[in-house]
A and B are shown apart, each in its own frame.
Chain A
Amino acid sequence: MKPHISKNFIIRNLFLCAAAIAITSCGTATINKPGSDAQIESLRTFELAFIDEFAVPHKRFNAAAFDAKVNQGNAMFQQAIANEKFTARRPVLNDLKAQFDADAAHLRSKASRGKVTPALASEMKKDVNKIYDHALGR
C-alpha cells in the first residue's frame, strides 16, 4: 500500500507543478503583451519619422545622416527581437525588420538620385502603418 500512496503523491505533485508552470507562463504572456505592443509602437514611430526625415522631395541627400539613422534602426530592431519575451511576437518583429530594410533600401535609392515625390512618402507611410497594424492584430 505504501508504494502505491507514494506513487500517487508524486503524480499529484507533478500535476500541480505542471499546472503552476502553465498558469505562470500564461500570466507572463499577458503581463508582457502590453510592453511588447509598446515596443512595436515605438518602432512604428521611429520608422515613420525616418520616412519623414528622408522622403522629402528636392532635399539634398545626406548619406552619413542616412546611414546613422539606418544603424540606429537596426540596433532598435535587434534589441527588440532579443528582448521579446512573448515568443509568438518574434516572427512578427522579423517581418517588421524586413519592411524596415526594404524601406531603407528603396529610400536610399530614390533619395540619392533626387527622385522622391510627395506621393512616394505618403504611400510609404501608408504601408508602414498597415503592416504595424496587422502586426498588432488590428
Chain B
Amino acid sequence: MPSAGKTKRKKSTRKKSELGSALDQVGDESTAAAMKEFQDLLAQAKSDTTELVRQNAKELEERLILLKKRKIDKEDFDFFIENQKRDLRVFIDSQPAQAQERAERLTLHILETAATKVVPVLLAMI
C-alpha cells in the first residue's frame, strides 16, 4: 500500500507543477502577480478541511490542464465553471454566516479568477 500512496502523490505533484510552471512563464509583472495570487488561493483551497472546497479546487485545476492541453475548449471550460458554481451556491448558502465569506473566497472567487484572469493567459500560450 505505501507504494500506491507514493504513486498518487507523485501524480498530484506532476499535475500541480504542470499548471504552476505554465503560469510561472508569465512575463508581465501585474499579470504574474495575479497568477501568483491565484496559485496561492488554489493551494489554500486544496488543503482546506472541507471536502467540497478541496474537490472544487482539484476539479478546477484538472480542467485548466485539460484546457491547456486542448482536450476541452473555452466553451466547455465555461460550461463546467457554471456547473461548479451552481453546485457550490447551495453549499455556501448552507454555511453559517461567519463562514460564508471564507467559503465563497475559496470556491466561487477562485472559479471567477480562473475564468477571467487565468484562462486568457493559458489560451495565449496555446
- In the assembled complex, how far is the CB of residue A14 from the closest CB belonging to chain B, in whole angstroms? 36
Query: In whole angstroms, what is the CA distance A120 to B83 when docked?
Result: 13
Contact for B72 among A109, A117, A127, A130, CB less than 8 A: A117
Q: Is the CB of B63 within 8 A of A134?
A: no
Within 8 A of B (CB), among A89-104: 95, 98-99, 102
Contact for B87 among A110, A115, A119, A134, CB less than 8 A: A134
Given A119-B66, A123-B80, the answer on whether A98 and B86 have CB atoms closer than 8 Å is yes
Query: In whole angstroms, what is the CA distance A129 to B32 when docked?
Result: 36
Given A119-B66, A119-B72, A123-B72, the answer on whether A102 and B79 have CB atoms closer than 8 Å is yes
Contact for B80 among A110, A127, A131, A134, CB less than 8 A: A127
- In the assembled complex, how far is the CB of residue B19 from the closest CB belonging to chain A, in whole angstroms? 16
Given A102-B82, A123-B63, the answer on whether A95 and B90 have CB atoms closer than 8 Å is yes
B73 at the interface (CB under 8 A from A): yes
Q: Is the CB of B83 within 8 A of A99?
A: yes
B interface footprint on A102-138 (CB within 8 Å = 1, 0 otherwise): 1000100110000101111001001100110010000
Instruction: Give the residues in chain B near A117, CB-CB below 8 Å.
Output: 71-72, 76
Given contacts A95-B90, A119-B72, 14 further A-B contacts (CB under 8 A): A98-B86, A102-B86, A106-B76, A106-B79, A115-B75, A117-B71, A119-B71, A120-B72, A123-B80, A127-B80, A127-B83, A130-B87, A131-B87, A134-B90
15 pairs, A vs B, C-beta closer than 8 Å: A102-B79, A102-B83, A102-B86, A109-B75, A117-B76, A118-B71, A119-B76, A120-B72, A123-B66, A123-B76, A123-B80, A126-B59, A127-B80, A131-B83, A131-B87
